[in-house]
Amino acid sequence: MNPKYSNLFEPFTFPSGVTIDNRIVMAPMTTNSAFENGMITTDEHNYYKRRATGIGVVITSCAQVMENGKFAGSFSAASDNRIESLSKLAKTIQHTGSKAILQIFHAGRMGTSTTLRGEQPVSASAIPALRETAEVPRALSDEQVHDLVKAFGQATRRAIQAGFDGVELHGANTYLIQQFFSPHSNRREDHWGGTLEKRMNFPLAVVEAAKEAIQTYADKPFILGYRISPEEMEEPGITLEDTFQLLTKLKDQNLDYIHVSVGSMMQQSTREKALGKPVIQLIQEKIGLEVPIIGVGLIQTPSDAVEALELGIPLVAIGRELIVEPDWIKKVKEGKEQAIRVEIDPQNRTDLMIPDEMWEYISSKPGWIPIAKK
């Protein structure tokens, strides 16, 4: 191995006490491939097994905490009869020593009545997302919001009982936790909205529910992470200052990490261009000494990963590149970084173990993942 990449392979211990072998995280990416009832398919097991070897932590695709919060092909953590299916996935990921984290979420207004069998999607308020096909969601009642908070706690319990090493609360990518925090999707005037402070109540309540489940059911250290999108394009939308206010609250919640979801690791603010630093660096400087930060976004080469660590963050998540190159860790360790693939050759699909539904998604999004021309 090239010595300049050695810091990628230093062990890391989360605040909860869980130790991982290196600083590389497999980022959560949906495979769109679960059965309609949310059970995990053989194709998905093969996909994770092909990529887990050598990775410090694998964060799964998101699993819904209620069945009215799913999208087509998402995992389910919404009932106890899915614990066995989840347990098999945890074992698949852990088979060579990687830690397995289940990402849990509710789609909120990003769901569709088609996927929900005619049921109207729900959200903080009856405000549709800014996309052509968006449906107007039904605003949740106060009682239903409380039920949702409990559902996140119950999904955390199921992850523990299924043998996962942790959960990640998906508060990013415009899903429901973010919808409650966003001034665009949350127009409430009650405990759950109306001011920035009140828009934080739902995310913080979800964190508390997960913590209570861990305290009650976990008999060994269990990782609790939170994923966040620092800005929104909508007006009104989440600003970096809003995010700093939420992060100030989250850093005191005894989280194991905060996972910052941006398109590129070195991406600067889209709203405040004069700041002159990558958003991930600003967040690291703000709270990184108090809670570990995971950075993500267009990491392809080991040099990219090292550059990210040099910003001060302790962990780097790799997403699309692990779809392209499942042997990324192995090749870096063996000093074969020049052999790392940076585009998919369609002829290698069998070796890459990409499920059909995921391949269809990749093919429908030109440029999302580089595909070699025939």
How far are the Cα atoms of 6, 51, 190, 332 from residue 2, in angstroms, in the given order? 7, 22, 56, 8
Which residue numbers in the chain have pLDDT < 50?
A: none
Q: At how many degrees (to 10) do helices 279-287 and 240-250 cross? A: 30
45-93 pLDDT per residue, tens: 999 999 999 999 999 999 999 999 999 999 999 999 999 999 999 999 9
Other C-beta atoms closer than 10 Å to the C-beta of 102 total 29
Q: Which two tokens stand for residue 26?
A: 């497999």
- Please name every residue paired with 296 in a beta bridge, in sequence order, or none if there are none: 317
Other C-beta atoms closer than 10 Å to the C-beta of 133 total 8
| Closest-CA residue to 133 (of 118, 150, 111) | 111
| Closest-CA residue to 47 (of 362, 374, 340, 364) | 362
* Through-space distance between the first and last CA atoms of the chain, rounded to whole angstroms: 33
Q: Which two tokens stand for residue 20?
A: 């991982």
Q: Which residues contact 322 (CB under 8 A, 6 or more apart)?
A: 26, 27, 51, 55, 328
How far are the Cα atoms of 124, 150, 266 from residue 140, in angstroms, in the given order? 6, 14, 37
Give the pLDDT score at 346. 87
Question: Contact at 8 Å (CB) between 183 and 236?
Answer: yes
Using DSSP's 3-state secondary structure scheme, residue 74 falls into coil
What's the CA gap between 142 and 150, in Å, rounded?
Answer: 13
Residue that has been written with the tokens 């096909």 in this structure: 133
Compute the residue count for the chain: 374
What's the CA gap between 306 and 345, in Å, rounded?
Answer: 27
Q: Which two tokens stand for residue 265?
A: 């690791």
| Closest-CA residue to 283 (of 299, 260, 314) | 260
Question: Contact at 8 Å (CB) between 357 and 40?
Answer: no
Question: Contact at 8 Å (CB) between 100 and 89?
Answer: yes
Q: What is the mean pLDDT of the chain?
A: 95
Domains and CATH numbers, the chain: 3-364 (3.20.20.70)
Question: Contact at 8 Å (CB) between 61 and 31?
Answer: yes
Q: Report which DSSP code applies to 369.
A: S
Q: Which two tokens stand for residue 210?
A: 């997960």
Q: Report which DSSP code applies to 41.
A: P
What's the CA gap between 40 and 24, in Å, rounded?
Answer: 24
- Give 217-248 as a DSSP string: H-SS--EEEEEE----SSSS---HHHHHHHHH
What's the CA gap between 370 and 374, in Å, rounded?
Answer: 12
Instruction: Please report, as a single letter, which amino acid is at residue 186.
Output: N
Give the pLDDT score at 234. 93
Active site residues: 175
Give the pLDDT score at 366. 85
Report H helices in the chain.
Answer: 42-52, 83-94, 142-161, 176-181, 196-199, 201-217, 240-250, 279-287, 302-309, 320-324, 328-333, 349-352, 356-364
- Please name every residue paired with 330 in a beta bridge, in sequence order, or none if there are none: none
